[in-house]
Amino acid sequence: QAKSKPSDPKYRVKTIAHRGASGYAPENTMAAFQKAKEMKADYFELDVQMSKDGELVIIHDNTVDRTTNGKGKVKELTLAELRQLDAGSKFSPQFAGEKIPTLAEALDQFRGKIGILIELKSPELYPGIEEKVAKELKKRKMHRPKNEKIIVQSFNFESMKKFHHLLPEIPIGLLTSNKNDLSNTKLKEFSTYADYVNPSYSLVTKELVNQIHKNGMKIHSWTVRDRNQVQPLLNAKVDGIITDYPDYVPRNKKK
Ligand code: G3P
Ligand code: CA
């Protein structure tokens, strides 16, 4: 049970379940997204890549080797080949049979029920992935302002600039683990197309949070895997905490 309490009673941090509630279920599977919902996270995060035949699939690594019973690069396997793999057993036999989800499937199942933070993972490997993700959101009218809780983020800033121009209504997040990306000059530039700056937790200070807020953006920080990492982020008043364990963040306890 999380003991940490923010000193300002109006302060409410968002909980974002990283790759779903990946401390409790296999990352980037429907089971992990369902768990995030059950744990009352505000959002779950997922990583999007593209199959050989151009389908949007949810997986973190560029290969299937670590998280499934298969081998090879995601971009060299067809959707049918990817769907045959078991994405659950390596986490625990209890999750045998979990599949690599498609983005469409995750949107259809969870839209409107929990926020979805979509990371374009390695968009440089997948020309046209921005257009494809934008199309999926548009098709479902998820780009309408204030319609649903959707954020698109990436470590690739050019990709995010492009996405912003394709679908300006969708909030954009910029991921970084590089301190040099966090100067005031850079933040000013980011604010022309981004809504969130999402740095690694080790880079977070109160000053940084204030600077990001002064530039009209919010901050979601990652990836909390230890309870002791929570309180410093609350003290700095980050807007959201991206964590494998949604119950580590106050007021987001397990059911
Ligand atoms: O959402 C932040 C986090 O997902 C970035 O790192 O490697 O887990 O995709 P990674
Ligand atoms: Ca991610």
153 CA distance to ligand 1 middle (Å): 10
Give the residue whose CA is nearest to atom 7 of ligand 1: 60
What is the pLDDT averaged over residues 83-106?
Answer: 98
Residue 117: name the closest of 12, 232, 28 by CA. 28
| Nearest atom in ligand 1 to 222's CA | 2
Ligand nearest to the CA of 155: 1
Ligand nearest to the CA of 201: 1
Q: What is the pLDDT of residue 143?
A: 87
Q: What is the spatial distance between Cα 9 and Cα 6, in angstroms, rounded to a whole number? A: 7
What amino acid occupies position 172? I
176 CA distance to ligand 1 middle (Å): 9
Catalytic residues, by residue number, are 18, 60
Q: What is the pLDDT of residue 36?
A: 98
Per-residue model confidence as pLDDT tens digits over 30-77: 999 999 999 999 999 999 999 999 999 999 999 999 999 999 999 999
1 against 191, higher pLDDT: 191
What is the pLDDT averaged over residues 180-202?
Answer: 98
Share of the chain above pLDDT 70, in %: 95
By the 8 A CB rule, do 129 and 148 touch? no
Per-residue model confidence as pLDDT tens digits over 111-146: 999 999 999 999 999 999 999 999 999 999 998 876
Structure tokens that stand for 43 in this block: 């959002």
C-alpha pair distances (Å), 147 with each of 68, 151, 205, 219: 35, 12, 32, 21
Give the residue whose CA is nearest to atom 4 of ligand 1: 18
204 CA distance to ligand 2 middle (Å): 18
Handedness of CA 60, 46, 117, 227 (dihedral sign): negative
Query: Which residues make Cβ contacts (< 8 Å) with residue 226, sequence separation at least 6?
Result: none
Q: What is the pLDDT of residue 3?
A: 47
By the 8 A CB rule, do 57 and 48 touch? yes
Q: What is the spatial distance between Cα 108 and Cα 6, in angstroms, rounded to a whole number? A: 35
3-class DSSP string for 141-169: CCCCCCCCCEEEEECCHHHHHHHHHHCCC
Quick one: which H or E segment has residue 24?
none
Q: Helix crossing, 103-110 with 30-38: angle to 10°?
A: 20
Q: What is the pLDDT of residue 5?
A: 53
Give the residue whose CA is nearest to atom 10 of ligand 1: 60
DSSP code string of 185-218: HHHHHHTTT-SEEEEBGGG--HHHHHHHHHTT-B
User: Whole-prediction pTM value?
Assistant: 0.95
Q: What is the pLDDT of residue 7?
A: 60
45 CA distance to ligand 1 middle (Å): 8
C-alpha pair distances (Å), 67 with each of 17, 58, 73, 223: 18, 12, 12, 18
Complex ipTM? 0.98
216 CA distance to ligand 2 middle (Å): 24
Q: Which residues have C-beta atoms less than 6 Å from ligand 1?
A: 18, 45, 47, 60, 119, 175, 222-223, 242
| Nearest atom in ligand 1 to 242's CA | 1
Q: What is the spatial distance between Cα 214 and Cα 9, in angstroms, rounded to a whole number? A: 21
Q: Does domain 14-248 have CATH number 3.40.250.10?
A: no
Ligand nearest to the CA of 200: 1
Q: Over 80: is that where the pLDDT of 254 sits?
A: no
Pinpoint the alpha helices (H) of the chain. Answer: 30-38, 79-83, 103-110, 129-139, 157-166, 184-190, 206-214, 230-235
Q: Which of 14, 18, 28, 48 to mutate to test the pocket of ligand 1 (most atoms within 8 A of CB)?
A: 18
- 3-class DSSP state for residue 7? coil
